[in-house]
C-alpha cells in the first residue's frame, strides 16, 4: 500500500526495540473476549486507477454530470468559482493543517481566518464575526441558544419563511432543552407577519431570514421594531450572502446576531456539504459567542501576528459550561469565502450581486408573459416562487434536462403546485429564454 | 549527527488584504451582461461592501505567501495526540472535485443523484462493518456534532421508554468536547476518575451508575492511549441499570480490524472521518463525524436517511422516532467521498493501518521513556503520553520543549491534555510516518531534553526559526482585536 512506509525489516527492528515478537502481540492489553476473530469483511483493495474509475462511474450518473440545467437554489447556489481560488485552496499547507493551536507555525491559517472574520463582518455590517460554524442550519440553532443565554428567556419567535431545514435543525437542538419556538406566518407579499407577537408573551429573539426561503427580501425595519417592542434580540439569518452586495445588510438594521450559510462565496455545492456557517454579532455579546475567534497579537520581539483567542468560551477550557461544543468547524470553507470576497472585491461583488438580481428579474418577466402566477409581491433577489400555468410544465422541462426549481408542496402544503426558482450569474439569457419557452405550452 | 528537517529560509511578509490593492481592480471575470440592469427597491438597497480591490496576481501571491507560513501534514510529521494527522491521499481530492459530485445540488431529484446516494449508502455499510454496528448516519458535520447526535439519541431513547434521565458519566480520560456535548442535551456530567493504571475500574462505574444516569461517554482507546480493558464489564453495569454506552471513536485508528465496538457493549459510537479515514483537516475543518448505532437505536437516527430498494437509492424522512435533522442537508458529502475512497483503497488492510499506528506509538514510547517521564508505563495503543516531570528541575515546561521541537522541523504533540497528567505531552505518530522520520523525531526530542539541562533559556525563548516567535496570548484575550 503506497501510504504505508514500513518495510518488513523496519517492522522487525521496531518490534525488537519494543520487546515483542509480533504485531499481534502489541495488542495484548486487549482482552481476548474483546478481540475480533477473523478479518473484516471488506472488498479487495482498489488501486489508484480502479478507484478513479469507480468514482467517475458513480459521479457520472448525477444531474450535474449529465448536463442538466438546474434552477434550484433553496440554500445551495450555483455560482462561478474563479480558477485562482480553486488552485490556491488546493495548496496543501492550508488543507493538510490541523486547527491552528500552535500559532508560530500556523500564521497562514490564522491571518486568513482573521481576514475572513473581517470581510464577513464588513459584508454583514456587524461588529464581530467568528471563525465559522458548520453550516447555515447549525449557525441558526447556535444563534437561538445564544439569545436564550443572553436574555434568559426560553422562547424564540421564528419566521415560518426561514429555510424549513434550518427550522428543523433548530427543533432538534431544542428537543432536549425545554426551550420552545413560536412560528410567525407570512403576509401576502411573502414577508413575515409580526402581528401575532402581541399575544406571544416574552421572547428571547425575533428571528427572520432575508432574503427569506421564498427569495423575498424581508422588511427588516419591521423586524427590528418588533424585536425592540418585545425587548428581544434581532437575529437575521440568510442562505444567500451574495445578496448583501446590493441589499442593506443585517447590521444596518441593528441586528444583534447575523447567521447563515456562506456556500455561495466560492464553495462548491457538493450535494449539500461542506458548507460554511457564518456567525456574527454585536461586540457586547462576543463572550457569549459559540465557536473560535482569531485575534491580533504580538510576539516577544514586538512583531504582529495572530492567535486563537477568547478560548475561555470554548469546550476544551470551559468544559460543560462552554458556549457551544463546537471544535472542528469549516475553516477551509471560511478561507475559500475570504478568498472569493477579496477576488471579486468591492465592485466585482456588487456587480455579481446585481447580475444575479437582474437575471432573476428577467426570467420573472418572461414567466409572467407566459401566464405564470407569482404569488408573492415583495421584492426578491435571485429566487422567487412561481406557479406554472400547466401542471405538466415541470415534468416536460425535466424531460428537456431542465430542473425548473424546487417543488414546494412538501415544505408548505398551501403552496401546492408552486416552485421555488433560482437564477444565478451562471445562467445566460438563452438559458432563461429556453426555460420560458417551454412553459405554458 | 542527524540533520533535522527544520531550517530557516526566506519567508515573505504579507499585509492583510485591506492594506493592499487599489479601487478599480478586480481579480475575477464576471459573466457577460446579457440582460438589462434593473433597479432594486430603494427601501432595501444598500451600499457596496467595504472589500479591498485586487488583481489576480496580487491574490495569488497573497495566499501563496500565507500558505508558506503554515505547517501541514504535507510539510512534516504532525504527531498531535488524538488528532490522527495521517497522510491525506492526493487522488481523493480529485475524486471529490468530480463535476458530478462537486456541482450536484442537494435537492436534485433522487433519480438524478443516484451516484451520490450510492456513495453514502456504501460508506454507511462499510463503517458498520468496521465498527460492528448495525446502522450509520453520516449527517454530523464533525466529531463534536457526532457526540451531540449520540447524546440526542440517548435522550430520545430514554424519553421513548418514559424514563427521562438527568446525568451522564464522563471519565477523566474522555475527550474534551464530551462534557459540552452532554450539557447541550441538558445532562449533568458526572466525572469518574481512571485508576492507577490509567483505565476505568468497573467498581467506580458501579458506584456512579444509578437509575437517573442516562449512560456513559467513554473514549476507547482513551486519551492516555490505553485500551479500556474492562469495557465489557462496564457496559454490563451500565446496561443493567438501564443506561446506554456511548463511545467516542476519535481513537479508532488504533483498533480497526482488531476490536469491533458493537460487539463489546457499545450502543452508539461516533467516528471522525478527518482522523481515522484520512480526510484532510483543512486547518480546522470541515470534517465529518458519522454515528454508528446498534439495532435498538436505529429508529432514532437523524433524517433524511438513504434507503436502498432493488439497487436504487432514495432519501427518506419517514422515521417517526428520529431525533430530526442536524445539518442543512445530509452532512459533509465531499468528505464522505474521500473517506469512502480511502476504505476502498485499503480493504481489509485497514487492520495493517492500526497495527502500524500502534507499532509507531509503542516504538516512540520505548525510545523516549527515560528522556521524558512516561505517565503510565504500560503497552499503549496508537498514542503515548509523557510529561515534563523530569525537566521540572531545570524549570523547563512542556510548552518550552514542544516549541523548541518546532525549530527542529516537527509539529508539537498535543500538550496539557489529558488533564489527568500534569504537563502532558501526547504523541500520536500515525501509521504513515516512516521509521526514519520517527527516528529523527525521537532524536530531536532527545536533543531538546539535553538542551533543557544545558541551555534552559534557549528553550524558554523557542521557537527561533519561525516567522513569528511566541505570541502574547494573554493580552490578545484581554484586549481582543478580532477584525481589521
B368-381 per-position pLDDT tens digit: 999 999 999 999 99
Q: B74-83 pLDDT, tens per residue?
A: 999 999 999 9
State the smallest CA–CA distance between residue A279 and chain B in angstroms. Answer: 13
User: A186 vs chain B: nearest CA distance in angstroms?
Assistant: 18
pLDDT in tens, A97-121: 999 999 999 999 999 999 999 999 9
CA distance A169 to A137: 6
| Complex ipTM more than 0.85, yes or no | yes
pLDDT at A321: 83
String of DSSP letters for A283-343? GGGGGG--S-EEEEEEBTTS-EEEEEE-GGGSHHHHGGGSS----S--HHHHHHHHHHHHH
Q: Cell numbers of A270, please?
A: 457538493
Phi, psi of B287 (to 5 degrees): -120, -155
Per-domain boundaries in chain A: 64-82+345-438, 83-340
Domain ranges of chain B: 104-346, 349-466
- Indicate yes or no: pTM above 0.90: yes
CB contact under 8 A, B141 and A105: no
- Residue B343: list chain A partners with CB under 8 A: 42
Residues in chain A with CB shorter than 8 Å from the CB of B461 are: 300
Residue B182: HSE in the Cβ half-sphere, 13 Å Cα cutoff = 29
Is pLDDT above 90 for B163? no
Identify from B313, B471, B484 which residue to disrupt to test chain A contact, counting A C-beta atoms within 10 A and taking the largest count: B471
pLDDT digits (tens, 9 = 90+) for B209-260: 999 999 999 999 999 999 999 999 999 999 999 999 999 999 999 999 999 9
Classify A64-82+345-438 by CATH class.
alpha beta
Matching residue, cell 527561533? B464
CA distance B257 to B354: 8
d(CA B312, CA B400): 57
Give the model confidence (pLDDT) of B382-394 as tens digits: 999 999 999 999 9
Q: Which of B443, B151, B225, B12 is nearest to A108 (CA)?
A: B12
Look at residue B1 and tell me whether its pLDDT is greater than 80. no
- CA–CA dist A204, A195 (Å, integer): 17
Domain B104-346 maps to which CATH number in 3.40.640.10, 2.60.40.420, 3.40.50.300, 3.60.40.10? 3.40.640.10
Q: What is the mean pLDDT of chain B?
A: 97
3-state secondary structure of A50: helix
Contact between A297 and B83 using a beta-carbon 8 Å cutoff: no
- Predicted confidence at residue A361, as pLDDT, reads 98
**Confidence at residue A319, expressed as pLDDT on a 0 to 100 scale:** 78
Determine whether domain A83-340 maps to CATH 3.40.640.10.
Answer: yes
Mean pLDDT of B180-192: 92
State how far residue A212 is from chain B, nearest Cα, in angstroms.
14
Total Cβ atoms within 10 A of residue B249: 32
Give tens-digit pLDDT for A146-164: 999 999 999 999 999 999 9
Q: What CATH code would you report for B349-466?
A: 3.90.1150.10
Note the pLDDT of residue A316.
76
Residue-wise pLDDT for B145-154, tens only, equals 999 999 999 9
Q: Residue A191 CB: number of other CB atoms within 10 A?
A: 25
Residue B24 has pLDDT above 90, yes or no: yes
> In this model, does residue A223 exceed pLDDT 80?
yes
Give residue B189's pLDDT: 94
Rounded to a whole number, what is the distance in Å from the CA of A20 to chain B's nearest CA?
10
- Tell me the C-alpha distance between B119 and B270, whole Å: 19
Q: Searching chain A, which residue's CA lies closest to the CA of residue B304?
A: A165
Residue B330 to residues A27, A168, B107, B443, B484, Cα–Cα distance (Å)? 37, 13, 10, 46, 35
Q: Distance between CA atoms of A5 and B431, rounded to whole angstroms?
A: 8
pLDDT value for A1:
85
Considering only CB atoms, which chain A residues are within 8 Å of B468? 103-104, 107, 299, 303, 305
As a whole number of angstroms, the distance between CA A414 and CA A408 comes to 9
Mean pLDDT value of segment B309-329: 97
On chain A, the residues whose CB falls within 8 A of the CB of B94 are: 52
Average the pLDDT over A408-430 and give the result.
97
pLDDT grade for B314, boundaries at 50, 70 and 90: very high
Would B104-346 and B349-466 be classified into the same CATH topology? no
Amino acid at each position: 500500500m503506497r501510504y504505508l512506509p514500513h518495510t518488513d525489516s523496519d517492522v522487525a527492528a521496531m518490534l525488537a526495540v519494543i520487546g515483542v515478537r509480533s504485531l499481534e502481540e502489541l495488542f495484548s492489553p486487549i482482552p481476548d473476549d474483546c478481540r475480533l476473530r477473523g478479518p473484516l469483511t471488506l472488498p479487495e483493495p482498489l488501486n489508484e486507477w480502479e478507484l478513479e474509475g469507480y468514482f467517475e462511474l458513480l459521479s457520472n450518473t448525477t444531474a450535474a454530470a449529465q448536463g442538466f440545467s438546474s434552477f434550484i437554489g433553496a440554500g445551495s447556489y450555483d455560482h462561478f468559482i474563479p480558477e485562482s481560488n480553486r488552485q490556491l485552496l488546493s495548496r496543501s499547507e492550508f488543507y493538510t493543517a490541523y486547527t491552528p493551536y500552535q500559532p508560530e507555525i500556523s500564521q497562514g491559517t490564522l491571518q486568513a481566518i482573521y481576514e475572513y472574520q473581517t470581510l464577513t463582518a464588513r459584508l454583514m455590517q456587524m461588529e464581530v464575526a467568528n471563525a465559522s460554524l458548520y453550516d447555515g442550519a447549525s449557525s441558526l440553532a447556535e444563534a437561538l441558544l445564544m439569545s436564550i443565554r443572553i436574555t434568559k428567556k426560553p422562547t424564540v419567535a421564528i419566521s415560518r419563511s426561514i429555510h424549513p431545514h434550518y427550522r428543523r435543525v433548530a427543533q432538534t437542538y431544542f428537543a432536549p432543552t425545554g426551550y420552545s419556538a413560536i412560528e410567525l406566518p407570512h403576509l401576502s407579499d411573502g414577508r413575515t407577519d409580526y402581528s401575532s407577537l402581541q399575544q406571544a408573551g416574552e421572547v428571547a429573539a425575533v428571528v427572520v431570514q432575508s432574503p427569506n426561503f421564498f427569495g423575498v427580501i424581508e422588511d427588516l425595519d419591521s423586524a427590528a421594531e418588533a424585536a425592540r417592542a418585545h425587548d428581544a434580540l434581532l437575529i437575521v439569518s440568510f442562505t444567500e450572502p451574495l445578496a448583501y452586495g446590493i441589499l442593506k445588510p443585517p447590521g444596518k438594521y441593528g441586528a444583534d446576531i447575523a447567521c447563515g450559510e456562506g456556500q455561495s462565496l466560492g464553495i462548491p455545492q457538493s450535494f449539500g456539504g461542506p458548507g460554511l456557517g457564518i456567525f456574527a454579532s454585536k461586540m457586547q455579546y462576543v463572550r457569549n459567542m459559540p465557536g473560535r475567534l482569531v485575534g491580533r497579537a504580538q510576539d516577544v520581539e514586538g512583531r504582529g501576528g495572530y492567535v486563537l483567542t477568547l478560548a475561555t468560551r470554548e469546550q476544551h477550557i470551559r468544559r460543560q459550561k462552554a458556549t457551544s461544543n463546537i471544535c472542528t468547524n469549516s475553516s477551509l470553507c471560511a478561507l475559500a469565502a475570504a478568498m472569493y470576497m477579496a477576488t471579486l472585491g468591492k465592485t466585482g461583488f456588487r456587480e455579481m450581486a446585481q447580475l444575479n438580481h437582474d437575471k432573476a428579474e428577467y426570467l420573472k418577466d418572461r414567466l409572467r408573459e407566459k401566464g405564470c402566477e407569482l404569488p408573492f409581491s415583495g421584492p426578491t433577489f435571485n429566487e422567487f416562487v412561481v406557479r406554472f400555468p400547466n401542471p405538466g410544465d415541470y415534468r416536460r422541462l425535466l424531460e428537456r434536462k431542465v430542473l425548473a426549481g424546487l417543488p414546494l408542496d412538501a415544505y408548505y402544503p398551501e403552496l401546492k403546485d408552486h416552485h421555488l426558482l433560482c437564477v444565478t450569474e451562471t445562467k445566460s439569457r438563452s438559458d432563461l429564454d429556453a426555460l420560458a419557452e417551454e412553459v405554458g405550452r | 549527527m542527524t540533520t533535522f528537517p527544520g531550517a530557516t529560509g526566506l519567508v515573505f511578509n504579507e499585509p492583510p488584504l485591506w492594506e493592499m490593492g487599489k479601487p478599480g481592480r478586480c481579480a475575477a471575470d464576471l459573466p457577460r451582461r446579457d440582460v438589462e440592469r434593473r433597479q432594486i427597491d430603494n427601501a432595501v438597497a444598500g451600499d457596496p461592501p467595504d472589500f479591498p480591490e485586487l488583481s489576480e496576481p496580487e491574490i495569488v501571491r497573497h495566499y501563496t505567501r500565507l500558505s508558506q507560513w503554515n505547517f501541514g501534514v504535507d510539510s512534516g510529521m504532525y504527531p498531535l495526540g488524538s488528532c490522527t494527522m495521517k497522510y491525506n491521499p492526493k487522488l481523493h481530492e480529485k475524486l471529490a472535485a468530480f463535476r458530478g459530485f462537486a456541482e450536484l445540488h442537494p435537492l436534485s431529484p433522487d433519480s438524478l443523484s443516484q451516484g451520490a446516494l450510492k456513495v453514502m449508502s456504501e460508506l454507511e455499510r462499510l463503517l458498520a462493518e468496521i465498527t460492528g454496528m448495525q446502522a450509520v448516519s453520516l449527517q454530523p458535520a464533525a466529531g463534536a456534532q457526532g457526540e451531540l447526535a449520540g447524546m440526542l439519541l440517548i435522550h430520545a431513547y430514554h424519553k421513548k421508554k418514559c424514563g427521562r434521565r438527568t446525568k451522564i458519566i464522563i471519565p477523566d480520560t474522555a475527550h474534551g468536547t464530551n462534557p459540552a456535548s452532554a450539557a447541550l442535551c441538558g445532562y449533568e456530567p458526572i466525572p469518574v476518575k481512571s485508576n492507577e493504571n490509567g483505565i476505568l475500574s468497573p467498581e467506580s462505574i458501579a458506584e456512579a451508575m444509578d437509575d437517573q444516569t442516562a449512560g456513559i461517554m467513554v473514549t476507547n482507546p482513551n486519551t492516555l492511549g490505553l485500551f479500556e480493558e474492562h469495557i465489557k464489564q462496564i457496559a454490563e453495569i451500565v446496561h443493567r441499570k438501564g443506561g446506554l454506552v456511548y463511545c467516542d471513536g476519535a481513537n479508532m485508528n488504533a483498533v480497526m480490524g482488531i476490536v469491533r465496538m458493537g460487539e463489546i457493549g457499545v450502543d452508539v459510537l461516533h467516528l471522525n472521518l478527518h482522523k481515522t479515514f484520512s480526510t484532510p483537516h483543512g486547518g480546522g475543518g470541515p470534517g465529518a463525524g458519522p454515528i454508528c448505532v446498534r439495532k435498538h437505536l436505529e429508529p432514532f437516527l437523524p433524517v433524511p436517511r438513504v434507503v436502498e430498494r432493488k439497487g436504487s437509492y432514495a432519501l427518506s424522512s419517514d422515521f417517526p422516532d428520529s431525533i430530526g435533522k442536524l445539518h442543512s442537508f445530509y452532512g459533509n458529502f465531499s468528505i464522505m467521498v474521500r473517506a469512502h475512497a480511502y476504505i476502498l483503497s485499503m480493504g481489509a488492510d485497514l487492520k495493517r493501518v492500526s497495527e502500524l499506528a500502534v507499532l509507531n506509538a509503542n516504538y516512540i514510547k520505548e525510545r523516549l521513556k527515560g528522556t521524558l517521564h512516561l505517565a503510565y508505563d504500560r503497552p499503549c495503543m496508537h498514542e503515548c503520553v509523557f510529561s515534563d516531570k523530569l525537566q521540572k528541575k531545570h524549570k523547563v515546561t512542556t510548552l518550552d520543549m514542544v516549541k523548541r521541537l518546532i525549530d527542529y522541523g516537527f509539529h508539537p504533540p498535543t500538550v496539557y491534555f489529558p488533564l489527568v497528567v500534569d504537563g502532558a505531552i501526547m504523541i500520536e505518530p500515525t501509521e504513515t510516518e516512516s521509521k526514519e522520520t520517527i527516528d529523527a523525531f525521537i532524536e530531536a526530542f532527545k536533543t531538546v531534553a539535553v538542551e533543557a539541562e544545558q541551555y534552559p533559556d534557549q528553550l524558554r525563548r523557542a521557537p527561533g526559526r519561525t516567522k513569528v516567535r511566541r505570541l502574547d496570548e494573554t493580552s490578545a484575550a484581554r484586549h481582543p482585536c478580532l477584525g481589521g
